[in-house]
Structure 1
């Protein structure tokens, strides 16, 4: 075939060339705007950190600076995606191509905003929620963790609903229809549904995870079953029995109703606090310090009763006294232990205020020492 004829066949008329030039110009401008959006997104956390540092007192400024350090990347991503979403309007005249890009960018923006709100809510709850709940009751337990989960679920639900509405998709109507269908399925498959619900309960409550050792009684006339969790499936849980090394398969609906002793989570953390006084304490002052520390520590929820030990002794230089406080913090998971440590920081503040009111010059060594210790079974 003649090359000249082939090139002539694929030549564009003036209108097509003009359209391609306009598209290339707009697309190039979009790339520039995307780069600018990424730069602005990375700049926003730095600006907020600088404003907070200058506007707030040092103590509060350090707290909010630490929070911004944890949220900086999520905030930068969300800001960049919002600016990119706004920049896509220059391609609005290119229908299908614009709708595809807008869908992908808006989906990413919705996910990033939901993640950012989740992180912010968790930080706010950890910062203010513990103090609020402690005023109501000393037994915080896992209320804060449950509240965090509820907030995350609500954020996810509203994020999905808002995104669906912006796409002209009636998400609430779909949920209503699914609810009617689910009601019919529930009557038709009660046993299978019970196993699925048991699985959901286990995944939400997490009384055990794969790899942990548990002790369960399935028959009041037989010995307890002690073994290692092999896996948690949709229908059943597999337990490797320790004595016989056999595999026990138990429906999740039964596991959700049983009292489970999780042996692997029988852990506690020893806490060591050192308080240095600028002078030697008298006997009455030593007794006062012991009383203040015990009152502040023993009121905390999650402290092993009777484990608090306070030892006062003279420093080697002979220029002052040191109080070594040790006790055990109990917890069933890493999240609950973090809450206990947050409560401990509140107790440190309470101890500091009490000692300052007694005109005792002191310093509390930072950081507090945490030592993992197994529970005697």
Structure 2
């Protein structure tokens, strides 16, 4: 009789505890549902209103999942510290497994939303096209990291020996790494390209093998370049690009320096060829000067019924900053003096029309 009475009391206590746990689990669930508003209020108070608005916008679509995490978390705490049920270990493991899966899913969704809205928005504001393939790579890498952390946490809290499992996975991982060495190298090179930024999508680049074109995409394993002229697409492995000298044309600036040489007489074609040679020789060694684009145009001017020749020299200076541009202009002044001395040495008199004209222009692709 006493044993039966004791069992009834214990059973009644379990029912009461189950009722209390259920009630508080629902309270925790509804607390989780309003957690985005709570986080917003705290951030508005201690950080900034902008941080509060962004956090609420990020968390609000997942308030149901957050509430479920709060409720399961409370049940997990009760199952760990108030083990009154005979079969509590099984129940606790089930609750803990569900909580781990739900938490990993929740963090993955929140992180994915953060990448899609805030990282993508930042990339668009920077004026560069966002690289969707690398953003996806970052998302999936983060997903794997979240799942791995959740697995380790579950194993550690339930005394599961993960070292033997990791050791077996490590042996398989080494074999897999050797089998896919090239693919892994290409993936790591894609990360290097993303961090180093030698070029962006839509940039025009030139490679040592003569390839020239527009970057269409930077993928996990390879980069696609739309060649100029033919319009074909070349797919280049990323590990090859990291070992090449890449010439990026899109980020360059160009200043056209226009020199007007006024000769005291009409210059014959043979002398014009000599003048072109002197100009090219005197300017080809100037650092930052695109000698391939140098143009010399001769024209005849009729002044006082006496024909005279004028030569307009267009020099193209490449640079990226005010200091470098100023230095190259000074070097160009030195080259102008050299041209003057050499031509006068050949008996060709002229004067340079002042001032020298400098025109900012985009680099012609």
The TM tier, using the shorter chain, reads 0.3 to 0.5
Q: Which has the larger radius of gyration?
A: 2
